[in-house]
Chains A and B, each alone.
Chain A
Amino acid sequence: MPALPRRAALSLAIVLLGPLAGPLVGCASGPSADLYQTFGGQPGLVALVDDFMDGMMRDPDLRPYFVNANRPHIKAELVAQFCAILGGPCEYKGMDMKMAHARYGIGDHEFNALVQDLQDAMDLHHIPYRAQNRFLAMLAPYRDDVVHPDPPPRVRPPLTIAPDAVVVPETVPTGGPQNKPPPR
């Protein structure tokens, strides 16, 4: 190979970089109706969120956060939120993301696990990788609302009576409603 001067080598690198710069100008970012349609519109999002939640329930990192939650409600909120983010005809009226997550002490690890479960669900629904990334780019800033590695310890009010002041008899069943009238 003949000796290329330094400037020629640099221009070669720019030529090599050219095709990579293409997507920067050619590919739209942000919400759009076509992106919403790529995700299958409303039925597509409902199916996606169903599989997303199933994936999170199988994920040992995330299961504890959802096992005792109202999952149908969370899924409906996620569908509305995803629809609004993608550019669909929806408005997210659910809880503020920061308020909804602050008390759980969620770390980067859990947030990354969630992203991965979402990617798995999107793969399952054959959403193209580029479209997935356009969606994730809009979700990524939520990390700052969701991740709170060190939540403040919950402050309990001080006890005003001694903890053993009330003795519950062994015969009283626990767990059920306590105010049923005694059977006659």
Chain B
Amino acid sequence: MVGWFSGVRRQRRVAAWAAAFLLAAGVRVAPPAAGATVSRPEDMTVSGKLTATGGVTQVEGAAGGGLTPWAVIGGGGTREEVGATAFFTAVRTHDYGMNAYGALIGLWDRVELSVAQDRFDTQALGGALGLGDGYAFTNTIAGVKVRVAGNAVYDQDSWMPQLALGAQYKSNDRSSLVKALGARSGDGVDLYASATKVLLAQSLLLSGTVRLTKANQTGLLGFGGADDDYHAELEGSAALLLDRTLVAGVEYRTKPNTLARANPGLAPEDDWYDAFVAWLPGKNLAFTLAYVNLGRVVTPTRQNAVYLSLQAGF
């Protein structure tokens, strides 16, 4: 999301390790075609995309809003460039704390590869539940997203949004406990399709995602429960571009609630929603502050959370 068209400058610092990454992946970067009458730099350039067009990072590590992925490719690179970002997010409710961190690399505005780790800390409630104070669930997520069609920002003469398909492999480090609670598995794969559109004349961004998932609380409580089926869940974001560095919006994310149907001892899983403000003082930096309602998580208390996120680009 975000301060969108601002502070675009060529960044070369990341070129060396980005190139190493590409070599490791066995990908050959072709130099731009020679022969232009005005000489363009022959080396690969990095991170020339307009700010905000890569979004910030959602809790599972994909570029998007705070809760849900967008169809945009993160990292700020254009079709000729690669880019990378890293993020740290802290979520605090009355009972729980969650820290998430990770990084992503965007390749030629086409492919996004991401890794993230979400650590959900039960704090004192863990002791009350018999798990021990500060008992934590850690979910490690590897994601891939591919832009299939469209450009969210530039296709202003049509209603065609930017479309992307993505997958997130998630692995929970407490698989024996979540299975004891009724989950079928400690790891799983989410598949999603996203459509994102910037309505520039209205300074408005809209994004919607359909996610096929078995995850309980995004995977923090394992996968499957009363059934082991994929459930189609809807996620959406709407954001206003307030100025070149400020974006405010809301998000909603539905959840499948399969674990509580298998284990009546657990409170039902609720949808998540938030209201956020993101500030992008420069192209490579984003701060997001949000109020998030996580609904009931294990206990009947509704969890109102403060969400703070920092993203840095390279």
Contact = CB atoms under 8 A, between A and B. Distances in A.
B137 interface: no
A112 B76 CA distance: 11
Contact of A12 (B49, B153, B273): B273
Nearest to A116: B8
Interface string B7-50: 11010000000000000000000001111111110000100111
Given A3-B302, A108-B79, A150-B32, A10 B6 contact: no
A140 B249 contact: no
Interface string A117-150: 0010001000001100110111011011000011
B200 A140 contact: yes
A55 B296 CA distance: 53
A6 B270 contact: yes
For the complex, would chain A's binding face be called helix, strand, loop or mixed by DSSP majority? helix
A182 B285 CA distance: 66
Contacts, number: 149
Given A1-B304, A3-B302, A119-B5, A133 B201 contact: yes
Interface in A99-122: 103-105, 107-110, 112-113, 115-116, 119
Contact of B80 (A16, A65, A108, A153): A108
A107 B31 CA distance: 13
Interface in A1-42: 1-4, 6, 9-10, 12-13, 16-17, 20-21, 23-24, 27, 29-30
A63 B32 CA distance: 19
A27 B6 contact: no
Interface of B: 5-8, 10, 32-40, 45, 48-50, 78-81, 109, 153-157, 199-204, 238-244, 249-250, 252, 270-271, 273, 275, 293, 295-296, 300, 302, 304
Interface of A: 1-4, 6, 9-10, 12-13, 16-17, 20-21, 23-24, 27, 29-30, 61, 64-65, 103-105, 107-110, 112-113, 115-116, 119, 123, 129-130, 133-134, 136-138, 140-141, 143-144, 149-154
A10 B200 contact: no
A20 B206 CA distance: 10
Contact of B201 (A2, A134, A153): A134
Contacts of B33: 105, 149-151, 153
Contact of A133 (B38, B203, B270): B203
Nearest to A20: B238
Nearest to B53: A112
Contact of B200 (A109, A119, A133): A133
